Structure 1
Amino acid sequence: MPRVLTIEDDAVTAREIVAELQSRGNQVDWVDNGREGLARAVGGDYDAITLDRMLPELDGLALVTSLRKAGVQTPVLMISALSDVDERVRGLRAGGDDYLTKPFAPDEMVARIEVLLRRQQATARSTVLSVGDLVLDLIERSARRAGKELELLPIEFRLLEFLVRNSGQVLTRTMIFEAVWGYHFDPGTNVIDVHIGRLRKKVDPPGVPPLIATVRGSGYMLVEAQ
C-alpha cells in the first residue's frame, strides 16, 4: 500500500486530500506545519508527498529545498493558491515534481499523485544503503560493517537507517526523535542518547574508525571513516 504524507495547514483541504487518497487505497499521514512536515518527510520513507505552498513555521519552498539537499527524492506534488507561472516555476525549481493550483478537483489531485507513484515505482530506489564499509539491506533489514553482520534491534535499525540516509548532515535530537519514534520530542528524555550509545557499541566497536559522531550542543551525524 503506497504511503503518502500530506503537509497542509488548512484542515478542510487536508481532510479532502486525505479522504480522496485513502479511497484509492493509499495510507495517508497528515501534518499541519512545515517544521513537523520536514521531520516526517526526511525519516518517514514515504512514496509521495502533497505539500501546501504556504505553511506555518517553514514554507513549502524551503521545505522541499531542504528535502532535496538532504538527499530525499520522494516525489512532491506542490499545492498552492498562487497560480501565476513564475510561482509554478519557483516551486518546480525548488525540487517539486508537479504543481497544482487551488481550488482543485479531488480526482485531478489523485491522478497527479498516481502519476508520481508510477514514476517512483519505475525508478525504484535502491534497497541497499552504504556509507564506507557500513552496508544496510532494506529488504532483509540487516546491517553489516566490514563484512560482519550487526545484530540490531528494530528501533536500532530504524535509527541507523535514518543516520545513513542523512550521512554528513547534523541531525538534532528533535529531528531524530520525530523521524524515528514518530512523535514530538521531549527535551527531558535521554532516550536518544541511550540508543545512540547502544548503537555505537555495535557499529563502532574498538579497533575500527568511528562513524557516529557527536556534534556538541547540536546532535549527531554519521561521517565516513577516514
Structure 2
Amino acid sequence: MDSLKNTKLLLIEDNREIAGILFDFFEAKEVELDYADNGELGLKLALEESFDAIILDLMLPRMDGFEVCQALRSQGKDTPVLMLTALDNRQDTLHGFKEGADDYLTKPFDLEILEARLLALISRYRGTMASGKVQVGELEIDSKTRQAWRQGQKLSLNPTTFKILSVLAQAAPDVVSRDQLTDAIWGDQPPSNDVLRSHVYQLRNQLDKPFAQPMLVTVPKVGFRLELKP
C-alpha cells in the first residue's frame, strides 16, 4: 500500500484549525474523512461505521481520547488508532498504548509523517500473512479476521499486538529479534523501544496471563520467541 487514496478515515479532534488543515491535506489525497469534535460523537461514529483508521486527539471534551480508545477496544472494535497528543509525556504515551492505541504523534506534527504512519497502520491492519488459519501449538491464528485463540479461548488483540503475534508465530520456535519485530511492525518509522515493550506487555497479558504455562518467552538482549510445548 503506497497511497491513502480511497481510504476512509475518522478524525476526532476538537481544534477546528487543526481539523481544517487535515481536511485540506486529505482532500488532496482523495481520502474520505469523517469528523467529530468531541469524544462521545467520535465513539458513536467509530462504532456505527467502518473506517480504515482513526485519528484520535487525546484532550477532548465530553470523553477524552483514553476513554474513547478503551471503549472501542472493550466493544471489540479493532480499527487502527493513531493518537494525537500535545503532551510529550512518556506516561501518557504508554497509557495510550495500554488503552489500545496503535501509534501516536506529538503536536505539532509533520503532515507527511502523519500520512506515512497512517499508511503503515492500515497496511498492518489489512494483514501481510497468507490468507487462512494457521495453527502453532496451542495457538490458532486467522489472518482474514485478524483473530487469534489459545486453547480455543479468543484473545483480545489490537492490530499491533496481532501483528507481533503473527510475526512470532511465523518464526516459531525460533527467536525474533527486537530489531526484526520493529522493522516488521513499523518499517522505516520506528518508535522508541518503550513502544515495542508496551505492546509486548499487552500481548503477554492476553496470551499468557489466563493460562498455566507461558508461551511468550523473552530472550535476554536478543528478542522474543513462542514456546510451543509446556
Percent of counterpart pairs with the same letter? 37
1:121 shift after superposition: 1.7
Figure out how many residues of one structure are paired with residues of the other and give that number: 127
Within the candidate set 29, 33, 39, 2:44 is matched to 39
Q: Which residue of 1 aligns with 2:126?
A: 121
SS in 2 for 1:37: helix
Task: Show the 5 A alignment for 1:18-33.
Answer: 18-33=23-38
| d(CA) in 2 for partners of 1:10, 1:86 | 23
Q: Give CA-to-partner distance per residue, 1:182-219, whole Å, 9 cap, x none.
A: xxxxxxxxxxxxxxxxxxxxxxxxxxxxxxxxxxxxxx
Q: Which residue of 2 aligns with 1:137?
A: none
Task: Show the 5 A alignment for 1:31-110.
Answer: 31-110=36-115
What code does the residue aligned with 2:52 have? D
- State whether residues 77 and 98 of structure 1, in contact with CA within 8 Å, keep that contact through their aligned partners in structure 2: yes
- State whether residues 8 and 51 of structure 1, in contact with CA within 8 Å, keep that contact through their aligned partners in structure 2: yes
Cα 1:125–1:27 change in 2 (3 A) is farther
**Which ranges of structure 2 fall in alignment gaps of 5 or more residues?**
1-5, 129-142, 147-230
**Which ranges of structure 1 fall in alignment gaps of 5 or more residues?**
128-226
1:25 shift after superposition: 2.6
| d(CA) in 2 for partners of 1:43, 1:79 | 22
| d(CA) in 2 for partners of 1:30, 1:46 | 12
Q: Give CA-to-partner distance per residue, 1:94-114, whole Å, 9 cap, x none.
A: 100001000111111111111
| d(CA) in 2 for partners of 1:50, 1:64 | 11
| d(CA) in 2 for partners of 1:21, 1:89 | 28
Task: Show the 5 A alignment for 1:187-226.
Answer: none
| d(CA) in 2 for partners of 1:23, 1:120 | 23
| d(CA) in 2 for partners of 1:89, 1:22 | 31
| d(CA) in 1 for partners of 2:34, 2:16 | 13
Q: How large is the Cα RMSD of the aligned pairs?
A: 1.6
**Structure 1 runs, 4 residues or longer, greater than 6 Å off:** none
| d(CA) in 2 for partners of 1:97, 1:22 | 24
SS in 1 for 2:70: helix
| d(CA) in 1 for partners of 2:79, 2:39 | 16
**Structure 2 length-normalised TM:** 0.53
What code does the residue aligned with 2:145 have? S
- State whether residues 6 and 18 of structure 1, in contact with CA within 8 Å, keep that contact through their aligned partners in structure 2: no
SS in 2 for 1:83: coil
| d(CA) in 1 for partners of 2:144, 2:38 | 27
Cα 1:86–1:31 change in 2 (3 A) is same
SS in 2 for 1:28: strand
| d(CA) in 2 for partners of 1:97, 1:66 | 15
| d(CA) in 2 for partners of 1:50, 1:81 | 14
What code does the residue aligned with 2:68 have? L
What code does the residue aligned with 2:88 have? S
